[in-house]
Amino acid sequence: EAGVGGFYQNKKTFFSFFFILVCDPADVISTVEFNQTGEFLATGDKGGRVVIFQREPQGEYNVYSTFQSHEPEFDYLKSLEIEERINKIRWLPLHNPAHFLLATNDKTIKLWKVSERDKRAEGYNLRDEEGRLKDLSTVTTLQVPVLRPMDLLVEASPRRVFANAHAYHINSISVNSDCETYLSADDLRINLWNLNITDRSFNIVDLKPENMEDLSEVITVAEFHPHHCHLLAFSSSTGTTRLCDMRASALCDQHAKLFEEAADPSHRSFFSEIVSSVSDVKFSHSGRYLLTRDYLTVKVWDLNMENKPVETYQVHDYLRTKLCSLYESDCIFDKFECAWNGTDSVIMTGAYNNYFRMFDRASLRDVTLEASREVCKRRAVLQPRRVCVGKKQKETDVSVDSLDFRKKILHTAWHPKENIIAIAASNNLYIFQDRLTPNGHHNTPEIQSAPPKWQTQPNPPTY
């Protein structure tokens, strides 16, 4: 087996592997997102907490800031409990030393400001150093407060709260390229927000029928185009992806393009509609292609060709014989994410048994790797994995009957410029990073015949 896209190099190349172990079920990671430069990585968990990691000069990512973004709430009008789980995190483009990000749970979106402070003011006239008000009778002179150096403090403060706009659970948020607006999507509606206005939004897509018994599809994910502020795409549970142009109409109920692959009638089954539901959609960095993930495949669509994808990759085709048991265990409804690398040449997505898959678009080669604590001993070689349906051909092969469907990689992210990936596997966060060669350069991003080497971070951070 060989690797893909610069991650899989010759034996002289070493790699870094980091992991964070958490034990509380509330700490199960629910979203992972790099910022636009890749210097920061944010994770959200089921407990409503956001943890931000910063890349150090030596290349390692360490905890930069941790804060509670959402708390559990209760809707008394609907007798509905609202979980604090973070569904999505999106970074805003960097315009000053402070960092801004949007985080959402099922109902409420919050804009957070994360900033550094290494100085504090001292010498106030009316307050002491603890901030308590002085006895005014003791103030006999006036002085000018001065700034004194202090230990670096990272502060996270909520700047905006966008609420009361969704009747259903929010599944997507996406920042527009105009840096002024963003969208939020739930099962039936997509709203357009201005970042400076919290009390109202504009509904641009509404799939809710007059009679809910006529409901035939729901929105699963929505995303803005990376360069054109008037274009957005959203996918549905029927396996379709619609491209909308806000120049044509402010209401985008009528799509500009519809990306849908015709189903083969001879292969239709009870599970066909379920497995065709799109769980994630990503524009390529160039803006030319769309990447969609359904239960069994990832597909690349050219924006200029609607009738069929230009590339289709089977993620775990060996599960077709297991769909009945996966349906009974509800695993068939798992929503896997997908990601492009920085040059749009390699695709990554997750699978079961803590496996994740990579597909090289140029060579059409793929690799299956495992992210688990059992195989990640220090300086241990991470071998490519192979799942077999019949008899094992190698001792390292894994039978499809022995896969652990409780272990799943749903959330992945790729550094926008370098070969660094972040993978969330239940309570663990893995960051894989290729190392520089002795001459200080990255190896040529091509598939090599030798397996990669990975080594663990000596002191993995915990939270």
pTM, two decimal places = 0.84
* SS3 assignment for 5-16: CCCCCCCCCCEE
Closest C-alpha to 222, from 178, 278, 260, 158: 278
* pLDDT tens, position by position, 207-252: 999 999 999 999 999 999 999 999 999 999 999 999 999 999 889 9
- When mean pLDDT is compared across 78-82, 157-161, 320-324, 417-421, the lowest value belongs to 78-82
**pLDDT tens digits, 26-35:** 889 999 999 9
Give the whole-angstrom CA distance, residue 68 versus residue 50.
6
- Residue 17, pLDDT > 70, answer no
48: left (phi over 0), alpha (psi -120 to 50) or beta: left
Q: If we measure between CA atoms, which residue out of 281, 401, 405, 426 comes closest to residue 332?
A: 405
Q: What is the pLDDT of residue 435?
A: 52
Q: pLDDT band at residue 2, thresholds of 50, 70 and 90?
A: very low
Q: What is the pLDDT of residue 436?
A: 46
Strand partners, 119: 149
CB atoms under 10 Å from CB of 135, counted, come to 7
**Separation of alpha carbons 115 and 94, rounded Å:** 12
Q: Higher confidence at residue 78 or residue 171?
A: 171
The pLDDT of residue 434 is: 66
pLDDT at 437 over 80: no
pLDDT at position 391 is 74
Dist. CA 256–CA 253, nearest whole Å: 10
Q: Exposed, middle or buried, 280 (CB in 10 Å: 0-12/13-18/19+)?
A: buried
Residue 246 neighbours by CB under 8 Å, 6+ apart? 204, 230, 231, 232, 252
Neighbour-count burial of 299, counting CB atoms closer than 10 A to its CB (0-12 exposed, 13-18 middle, 19+ buried) = buried
CB 223 within 8 A of CB 233: yes
Q: What is the pLDDT of residue 427?
A: 85
CA-based Rg of the chain, rounded to a whole angstrom? 24
